[in-house]
Structure 1
Amino acid sequence: MRIHDALISASRFAASRWQAARLEGREEEKRLWPQVNEYRAFIGETGQVYLFEDYLRGIPPTPRPHASLAFDVSKDATSYKVMRLLLKAFDEAPEPEQKQSVIVLINLVNFIADTEQLAAVEDYINNRLDYAPLAIAHFTTRDEAEAWLKGLAEPPSPARILIGDEYYLAWSSREENVRGIYRDYIIEPYIEELAARGIPPSTPAFETRAEAEGWLKNHPASPFDFVSIAGEHYLAVHHKRLMRHTLHPVASALTEWAETKRAAERERAQGAAEETEEGGE
């Protein structure tokens, strides 16, 4: 099974166990199962899926999976509770397919512990709503980004990056031996929602971008704030992990986002029409 398919199956298993815990009133399990999926999301958004696949290949088969010795060092209480929950789920799983999903989840948590990322994943989970959408790297030009992606021995699978002020998705397929970069409209829905609430009339105003960037260094957005540059409104987005801000012109971003949504709707309508025609043949 491909690693992405294995993670999807494991995620579905975790969702089914959360649903069972919710219906049966098992409060701690109801709280911990969503955290299991947050670990999976962390690995996905940081582009470590293939690194995790390599980690799995190095684990010898055993009758029963076990917790990494790294937990004895980290003393991370929440992750330890998650591991106990997963080991219990393995023992209780009646079907081999379910046990395999639990093995993937156990080793996912072990991978995070063994690569000393328990603190990072806790930060990701606890502050996810306070951070901008995660980007793992920033480049000034697309040529720089493509050179970086081409030169990586283990490219992300996938992960978001920033090129200038725009989000892109850097991706690779180990199975097909291809990689690429395409535009990712992840910040535009935020701009749309925040602008709909109303841009404050007293936004900080600057004559140049350099002035705005200098001010933001000492007054970081948390994680979004509107500023005005030469009379035009921008959404300043603070990328805490990259220690920088991006600036998104509100008017043009909303126009581009509206055009993107219309194009997606046309594609959906065309696809539905083609399915209807095929069904009538």
Structure 2
Amino acid sequence: MRPKSPVFEAINLLGLIHEKTESAEEKELLLTAADALQFIITTGQRYELDDYRQELKTEGPEMVIASFTTREEAEAWLKNHPKPPYMALVLIADQYHVVMYDRDDNFRKLVSTHSIEYHFEEMMKDGRPPPPVASFDTREQARAWFYGLPERPSQAVIQLGGEPYLAAYHRNIDHLAFHPFSLFERFEEWRKTLNEKKVPEDPEPQS
């Protein structure tokens, strides 16, 4: 006998909470959550949800649904997509982008996002990257090493061409991305400049 699905159990739990909730607004939110889970089951995405939840337990960066070598390839994919995946993340030359889509006017756009920089921030609590587990001169060498491992981890800090990199494995699309930690340094400089612009200048002293 197969174990009970946690998705069905979650729907039942939401129903029980719904019965005891008096707030109309909270009832609607609970129904929305239950409908979302039911939608996953109805559209046959149960295993995709299981994979996603399993991925959340890893240490790797956020999941992406596709990877492209160039922006032209990514834009052609988005332009021809029958139902663009709104707010999904994709990689373009291993840089994170979010899919923006408005169904009413068919607006489609790929916008860069700082997803990997925030992931670096979580990894660099002491202000520097974790020590590398291996060193390589080229990406080809690093890729051959990674795919040769008995079990591919969700991420590994490596030295690539003398610089620290994060090798992130996106299992759902079988893609190994390379993210330089120098991205975080540039991100910190950008954030510092942004904060300085928000600080109002001191008023001139009254005479």
TM above 0.5, yes or no, is yes
Q: Which runs of 5+ in 1 are unaligned?
A: 1-73, 274-281
Q: Which residue of 1 aligns with 2:178?
A: 247
Where does 1:49-60 land on structure 2 (aligned, <5 Å)?
none
Whether 2:42 is the aligned partner of 1:114: answer: yes
CA contact (8 A) 1:76 1:118 kept: no
CA contact (8 A) 2:67 2:175 kept: no
Normalising by the residue count of structure 1, what TM-score does the alignment of the two structures yield?
0.62
- Which residue identity does 2:85 align to in structure 1? P
Aligned length, in residue pairs = 195
Where does 1:57-68 land on structure 2 (aligned, <5 Å)?
none
CA contact (8 A) 1:221 1:237 kept: no
Q: Which residue of 2 aligns with 1:70?
A: none
Question: For the residues of structure 2 that align with 1:75 and 1:117, how far apart are their CA atoms?
Answer: 18
Choose the corresponding residue for 1:208, options 135, 138, 144. 138
- The percentage of counterpart residues that share the same residue type is 28
Change (3 A) 1:181 1:266: farther
- Which residue identity does 1:134 align to in structure 2? M
CA contact (8 A) 1:158 1:169 kept: yes
CA contact (8 A) 1:223 1:239 kept: yes
CA contact (8 A) 1:172 1:178 kept: yes
Cα shift at 1:96: 4.0
Q: Which residue of 1 aligns with 2:166?
A: 235
Cα shift at 1:177: 3.3
Question: For the residues of structure 1 that align with 2:5 and 2:173, how far apart are their CA atoms?
Answer: 28
Cα shift at 1:245: 1.1
Whether 2:96 is the aligned partner of 1:162: answer: no
Cα shift at 1:107: 1.5
Question: For the residues of structure 1 that align with 2:196 and 2:115, how far apart are their CA atoms?
Answer: 20
Q: Which residue of 2 aligns with 1:137?
A: 66
CA contact (8 A) 2:154 2:168 kept: yes
Change (3 A) 1:137 1:89: same
Q: Which residue of 2 aligns with 1:183?
A: 112
Normalising by the residue count of structure 2, what TM-score does the alignment of the two structures yield?
0.81
Following TM superposition, the consecutive aligned residue runs of length 4 or more in structure 1 with deviations greater than 6 angstroms are none
Q: Secondary structure at the match of 2:172?
A: helix
Q: Which runs of 5+ in 2 are unaligned?
A: 201-207
Q: Secondary structure at the match of 1:102?
A: helix
Choose the corresponding residue for 1:258, options 178, 188, 198. 188
Q: Which has a greater percent of helix? A: 1
Question: For the residues of structure 2 that align with 1:117 and 1:132, how far apart are their CA atoms?
Answer: 22
Where does 1:59-78 land on structure 2 (aligned, <5 Å)?
76-78=4-6
